[in-house]
Amino acid sequence: MLWGPQYSLQRVLTDRLQISLSFALLEIVIEDDNGRIFGDQTLRDEESFVRIVNRYVRILLLVLLACGGFLIISEFANRNESVVVAQAGGGQANNFVGAWCAQGDPTKHASISDNGAFLNLTNENGDTSIGNYQGSNQVSAPGWQFVTGTLSGDGSRINWSNGTFWARCSNGNGYRKPNLNGIWYPNGNRSLSCSIQQHRDSINFQNETGQRATGSFDGKRHLSTNWSGTKIGGTISADGNRIDWDNGTYWVRYRVYSQSN
Q: How far apart are CA 126 and CA 124, in angstroms?
A: 6
Across 154-172, average pLDDT = 82
Separation of alpha carbons 94 and 44, rounded Å:
76
Predicted local distance difference test score (pLDDT) of residue 94: 65
The confidence score (pLDDT) of residue 93 equals 57
Ranges assigned E (strand) in the chain:
98-102, 109-114, 119-122, 128-133, 138-141, 147-151, 157-160, 165-168, 182-186, 194-199, 202-206, 212-219, 222-227, 230-236, 242-245, 250-252
Residue range 98-147, pLDDT digits in tens: 888 888 777 788 888 887 778 889 998 888 999 998 887 899 999 999 99
Asked if residue 85 and residue 10 are part of one domain, the reply reads yes
**Residues, the chain:** 261
With both helix axes pointing from N to C terminus, report the angle between 4-29 and 46-96 in degrees, rounded to the nearest 10: 170
**Among residues 94, 115, 144, which one ends one of the domains?**
94
Q: Could you say which of 141, 168, 195 is where a domain stops?
A: 168
43 lies in the same domain as 113: no
Give the other-Cβ count within 10 Å of 9's Cβ: 16
Task: Say whether both 54 and 86 belong to one domain.
Answer: yes
Give residue 19's pLDDT band: very low, low, confident or very high (50, 70, 90).
Answer: low
User: Mean pLDDT across the chain, nearest whole number?
Assistant: 74
What are the percentages of helix, strand and coil residues in the chain, rounded to 5? 30, 30, 35
143 and 217 within one domain: no
Residues 56 and 138 grouped into a single domain? no
Is the domain of 51 the same as that of 78? Answer: yes
Least confident of 44-48, 51-55, 81-85, 90-94: 81-85
Distances (CA, A) of 74 to 12, 80, 86, 254: 12, 10, 19, 68
Counted domains in the chain: 3
From CA 121, how far away is CA 143, in angstroms rounded?
A: 9
**What band does 197 get if pLDDT is binned at 50, 70 and 90?**
very high
Q: Which amino acid is at 187?
A: N
Looking at per-residue confidence, does 160 or 156 come out higher?
160
Q: Is residue 52 part of a domain?
A: yes
* pLDDT, average across residues 138-159: 90
Find the domain containing 241 and state its range: 182-252
- 40 domain residue, yes or no: yes
- How many degrees, rounded to 5, is the angle at CA 108 between CA 102 and CA 111? 65
pLDDT band at 82 (very low <50, low <70, confident <90, very high): very low
Of 78, 94, 110, the residue at which a domain comes to its end is 94
Q: How confident is the model at residue 12 (pLDDT cuts 50, 70, 90)?
A: low
pLDDT at 31: 47
- Is residue 109 within 8 A of residue 171, CB to CB? The reply is no
Residues 89 and 8 in one domain: yes
The model's confidence at residue 84, banded by pLDDT at 50, 70 and 90, is: very low
Q: Which of 82-91, 176-185, 234-243 has the lowest mean pLDDT?
A: 82-91
Same structural domain for residues 78 and 102?
Answer: no
Q: pLDDT grade, residue 230 (50/70/90)?
A: very high
